[in-house]
Structure formats: C-alpha cells, structure tokens
Amino acid sequence: MQMKNRSVESLVEEQLQKWNLRGTERKKRGVKPGPVITISREPGCGGTEIAKRLAKQLDMDLFGGQIIQKVAESVEMSTKVIESLDEKEMTKRDDWLTALFESRHLWPDRYLHHLTKVIGTIGRYGNAVILGRGANYILPEENTFRVRFIAPMEVKLKNVIRTTREEAEKYIMKTESERRAFVRQYFHSDLTDMDHYDMTINMGKISVDAAVETVKCAFFAWKKQVK
C-alpha cells in the first residue's frame, strides 16, 4: 500500500482483493500466513527506502505509516479492513489485542482502537512490511521481526533535502520528537528502548543495499527458529 496518485480508498480496495485471493489459495494449500517485518526508523536514515526494497525483494505487501494512519482515522475504511478477516482469524486477533490492552494498561480511544485493529488485521494476513505507526508494539513478538534503523546526525542531514542545514536539523528533531511522543502517548513506551526490536542497524556504517541484505539474512535465520 503505497500512496502515489491513487486514492486511499482505491488502495484499500485493491489490498482487500489481494487478501481475498491469497486467503482462498492458502486454504486450498493449507498454508499459514507468513510473518511480518516492522520498520522503525530515525528520520533521514533511509528506513523508508529500505522498507520498499525489502517488500519488493521478499514479495511482501508494503504498508506505509501515512496510509495506515488515514485508514485508522476513517471509520468506513477501517471497518472494511477490520471485517475482511474471517470469523476464526478475527477472534484470534481480538484475543491478543485484548491481552495487549490489558498488559500495557492502554486506554482504547477511537484512534488507537482502529489503529490496533487495522494493524492487527495486517498481521493476521501476514507477509507484509509495515513502516512505523507503532506496529512493533501491537503485533505479537512470535510472528513479527522488528527492525529499527538509526544514524548519526551528519548522515541524516545529508539525506534530508532542505534549503539550509538549520532547516534540515529542525525537521529531523521535530519528526523524531513527534514519533517519540506518539509511542509514549499510545503505547507507554520509549521509542529508543532496544528491547522492542529484534535488530537495530546503524546506517552510518553501511549502505542501503547492505542494510537490505543484512535484514534479509537475519529475517531468514529468524524464520527458521520460530517455525
């Protein structure tokens, strides 16, 4: 689900059709949904590009943070996504979402209610790369490979296109502050706490291509262990 020139509604409908076809095929073959990769990243470290390449190379669906937010904010679109699961899968999702709220003492306001159910639905279908929106705090650890990308300020400044260095630095600081506040508000957690990630990569040390290969290698090794 990448937001280009098409509307969010058309992207949602397209994804629902994909899920429907895959679900039918999986039932025929008795294949379980694949795991999910979640991507958390500091602004300017290349995490978005890495997510796109991972999704393409692993033949996974890509769900960007912006479109997830828009779907979560729209009752109509959220309902379509949430109700796309069959009754059995919906029950499984709701069981662990209930456990999530109880264990973390989260207050399910309207936005968080829809956000968790939308991301939870993506998780039940599986075979996806999810960028941001706290997906690593929502999905169960046993089915989710959680990655975070960081980078030194100088590296991030080179990647952020702004008129001046001062503007670029302000953008980085503001964006990171907003992301930390989001995680703190909705998940009562510290975005930088490494306990919430299975892998952290410093992009000051390697290229985007190398990062993609590193994540793929670790992901395949992790999949073997969790089977």
Instruction: List domains and CATH numbers for the chain.
Output: 34-219 (3.40.50.300)
pTM of the complete model: 0.85
Nearest to 148 by CA among 161, 131, 160, 170: 131
Give 167-194 pLDDT, tens digit per residue. Answer: 889 999 999 999 999 999 888 899 999 9
Nearest to 150 by CA among 211, 93, 100, 210: 211
Give 158-173 pLDDT, tens digit per residue. Answer: 888 777 888 889 999 9
> 73 with 114: CB under 8 angstroms?
yes
How would DSSP label each residue in 26-57? HHHHTPPPP-EEEEEE-TTSSHHHHHHHHHHH
Interatomic CA distance for residues 144 and 121, integer angstroms: 13
pLDDT of residue 4: 46
**Token representation of residue 224:** 């073997």
**Alpha carbon of 112 to those of 47, 61, 217: distances in Å?**
24, 22, 33
In this model, does residue 3 exceed pLDDT 50?
A: no
